[in-house]
Chain A
Amino acid sequence: MLRNASLTLLSLAIAIGLGGGSVWYALNAQDGVGAIRIGQWTAFPEIGTQAADPYSKARVAREGVLALGQAEGLSFVAERDESGAPLKRQCAYTIVGGYPTARFWTLYAADQSLGVIDTGKARQAALQSYEVLRQPDNSVVISVGDRPAPGNWLLTNGFGKMYFVLTFYDTPIASSTGLSDVTLPRILKAGCHA
């Protein structure tokens, strides 16, 4: 009798614990269902639409996101550099390469909640395409770190995990067919503070 009861309890514990825990895990993972990966960058083109999968819908509801519409733009998030190491606020990076067609784009360094990191200075940890200097081949080289750098400099400081968020506005790639042959800039580590 006791044996039966404890076995029932075990089944229930596994069911509720594992079931609830797996949902929690799936909603927190950056790399969820419906993601499109281009290099190190991840986008969810269908997030916040009626066509989204249940995981995206749950994420939208839980985090209170109001996702960009197709006529507005598309956001990409990177959490690793090209060698596969997680991005860190205490490290310096170089973001090199060309960008797909868009009216303009913005790039910012974000913390865990994908809000812009607080640099504690007047300069924001954000850049946009109208203000960047370009190479002769129209590509852009951006230095990321806490030391001022010539050319394009994205200020970051502090310690801990970091994300880059790259958003294209008024862009044809926001419609899903446009995403097939898009290339995005590479993220190279330039060095770290101890």
Chain B
Amino acid sequence: MRSLLHALILGLLGAGIVHIAVLFLVPEFSERDAWSRLAMASDLYKMTRLDAEAGGAPVVKSVDPMFYAAACRFDLADGLVRIRAPGDVPFWSASVYDRSGHNIYSFNDHNANSEKLDAVVLTPAQMIDVRRDLPEELQGAIFVEAPIEEGIVVVRAFVPDDSWKPIVSRFLEQSACELQDY
């Protein structure tokens, strides 16, 4: 009887250890995280629609039905990445995520210098380089310093009603995500 109790207590103790171990291993080994899903849908530096409107099931879950969104994956080891989109939508916002889907930085159209979305994501080391000699065409851009290599940029745009759908779709189609020389 004593040994059965012993085994039970040991089991419970083990359950605690397994619980913690599994919990911390889930993010490491998940094949269903946003990065993996996007990787299946498209290449690096390619804006991909996240909502179901573009055809097929939504790539990433829980996008507001009144929003259209597009995302692109980047790798800062290759260089700076610049995200651009023309203005003219009621509301847009952009977020930079790291490889495991943590939100590093976000901003919206009211934070931007102009209505247009123009942002550059770069590492602190690249920031030092760019500051030394800021290229003319990057003058108006928002600089997002992110201590990461691989990451995801998501642009979201509000669709107040059906009449805005083509305009917001065009906004996202014209958005670009490209490696920037400096």
Contacts and interface: CB of A to CB of B under 8 A. Distances in A.
A19 interface: yes
A52 B15 contact: no
Given A7-B7, A18-B12, A20-B18, A55 B23 contact: yes
A194 interface: no
B33 to A, nearest CB: 5
Interface residues on B, range: 35 or more
Given A60-B101, A61-B26, A126-B65, 9 more contacts: A16-B18, A18-B11, A19-B15, A19-B16, A63-B61, A67-B101, A69-B93, A69-B95, A169-B93
A116 interface: yes
Contacts of B34: 64-66
A61 B62 contact: no
A101 interface: no
A50 interface: yes
B154 interface: yes
Nearest to A15: B14
A148 interface: no
B30 interface: yes
A170 B111 CA distance: 10
Contacts of A137: none
Contacts of B156: 72
A68 B107 CA distance: 10
A30 interface: no
Interface of A: 3, 7-8, 10-20, 22-23, 26-27, 48-50, 52, 54-55, 57-58, 60-73, 103-104, 106, 108, 113-116, 124-126, 128, 130-131, 165, 167, 169-170
DSSP class of B's interface residues: helix, strand, loop or mixed?
A: mixed
B8 A10 contact: yes
B102 interface: yes
A22 to B, nearest CB: 5
A181 B51 CA distance: 34
Contacts of B30: 61-62
Interface of B: 3-4, 6-8, 10-19, 21-24, 26-27, 30, 32-34, 36-37, 50, 58, 60-62, 64-67, 71, 91, 93, 95, 97, 100-108, 110-111, 152, 154, 156, 158, 160-161
> Which of B103, B152, B160: most chain A Cβ within 10 A?
B103
Contacts of B10: 11, 15
Contact of A115 (B22, B61, B105, B161): B61
A191 B115 CA distance: 46
A63 B32 contact: yes
Nearest to A57: B27
A103 B160 CA distance: 13
A27 B22 CA distance: 11
A69 B106 contact: yes
